[in-house]
Amino acid sequence: MDPLAHLAIIWAAVFGAVVLAKATRLTPVLYFLFLGSLLANIGILPAESGAFIRVFAELGIIFIMFALGFEESTDNFLASVKRSWGIALFGALAPFAVAYVIADYVWDDPNIALMCGLAMTATAVSLTMVSLQSLGLQNSIVALRIMTSAVIDDIGALIMVAIVVPLAAGEETFTLLSAVTTAGKAVMFFVIVSLIGVWIFPRSHAKWLKRVPWLQHLSLQTYLTFDKGKYATLAILLAALAVGLLAHYFGFHPAVGAYMAGLIVREEHFQLKTRTIDEFGRPVEFNVYAETKRIVDNAAFCWVGPVFFVDLGTKILFDWDLLTDIMPYVIAMTIGIAVFQVLSAGLAARYTSGMNFAESLMIGFGMLGRAELAFVVIDIAYVQHSILNREAFFTLMITAFFLNILVPITITWWKPYYLKATQPRDPNYEKSTP
């Protein structure tokens, strides 16, 4: 198929998916995957994409992961970590253990079991936030706890993917030395990125930087606001790609680096507002941060990033015999992960984060979703490294679909009980920003 025609069909599918998502109030990711699969099964899209689409899809997931990291408020995240560590830890261990045990029992392969566990570890914070926003709960304390816990889980899952994939793919022999070496590379990468964020691109220069003449003018703010911020989008995406390439140099997926690059960047780095003249000759204030974020989000979630999910969906070629065979595994994994995810996250919220019963259960329901990062792990394990077999791939995809369906259903069902338990304590609870 002609690459441009291929891209045009994918973009048409993306638009259709967005329309369906708006109508049903579900995440568009589900429909990206569904329409990609549908178009491949009826022969409109090829199951094996050409080099152009694969590279475009790879760029899309880099954009998505950077945008997700860029979305996070570093200050809010750090302030909430002490309250959310238990939710993140136990809320990740439980689904990992359930997926690992089921996969190991079914396929008797520790590599497949590991990747299944990792894929089911990361919470889809975007899906949960959309569901909470539709119910007016986006500024509640549970939303902040879910967001912080999900970010911690995502970072942990990315670190584990960076360590496990080279070993599971056979790129390195599994020995104690190789495991330590791979873990050391992961630690070195995250240390380098952290140093870039803390020392090289801080909000204010460290003392030692001020003593070095050619370094004292080095800052991310200077870089992003060059020429009144006209090239801020180019600058920020170049930074994301550069850190992604750094991650690739260390043997990790570029999406890992892109996500970390997003966490480094703060709104304070865009402290520049300029005035321009509109077509009527009136002065208009231009916010560099807001405009850059708008463009990045548009590229990540509207026209570049969705190509990744539609292309991944084309790998889901229906085989009714296969679906019949794996359905018991899907049911077991869905029920197991759902039950233990809610229990583990809810109990952790109750006893490590100080939440009441209603808040704890809402947090448990909010952490059921599996979206962007889960599908990144599935893509790495199935498409790029062939660690997963076809049965495991289908099981994970369908399980993720059912878990995502449960998020808006359970949150909507629990909202009246949640409000009844929280509003007497604070009548303005939903309106207050934690």
Euclidean distance between CA atoms 80 and 146, whole angstroms: 10
Q: At how many degrees (to 10) do helices 390-422 and 28-41 cross? A: 150
Q: Is the model's pTM score more than 0.85?
A: no
As given in the structure block, the two tokens for residue 47 are 């199951």
As given in the structure block, the two tokens for residue 227 are: 């020429």
> Confidence band (pLDDT; 50, 70, 90) for 161?
confident
Is the separation of the CB atoms in 123 and 369 below 8 Å?
A: yes
150, containing H or E segment: helix 141-168
For residue 284, what are the β-bridge partners? 276
Nearest-angstrom CA–CA distance, 104 and 156: 22
Most confidently predicted of 128-142, 156-170, 208-222, 232-246? 232-246
Residue by residue, DSSP assigns 90-148 as HHHHHHHHHHHHHHHHHH--HHHHHHHHHHTTS--HHHHHHHHHHTT-TTSHHHHHHHH
* pLDDT tens by residue, 370-385: 866 788 788 888 888 8
- Output the six-digit token pair for 192: 């380098």
In the chain, % helix, strand, coil (3-state, to 5) comes to 75, 0, 25
What pLDDT, on the 0 to 100 scale, is given for residue 42? 93
pLDDT 10s digits, 386-417:
888 999 999 998 898 888 778 878 888 888 88
| Whole-number percent of the chain with pLDDT over 70 | 75
Spatial CA neighbour of 420 closest among 356, 363, 342: 356
Residue 218: pLDDT over 60:
no
Yes or no: say if 296 and 237 are a contact pair by the CB < 8 Å rule.
yes
Compute φ and ψ for 316, nearest 5 degrees: -90, 85
| 3-422 has CATH 3.40.50.300 classification | no
When pLDDT is cut at 50, 70 and 90, the band that residue 182 belongs to is low
Domain ranges of the chain: 3-422
pLDDT at 247 over 90: no
**How far is residue 265 from each of residues 72, 219, 236, 274, measured CA to CA in Å?**
9, 11, 9, 20
* 285, β-bridge pairs: 275
pLDDT at 165 over 60: yes
d(CA 163, CA 171): 11
Distance of CA 68 to the CA centre of its chain: 6
pLDDT bracket for residue 235 (50, 70, 90) = confident
Alpha carbon of 156 to those of 82, 141, 203, 396: distances in Å?
16, 23, 26, 19
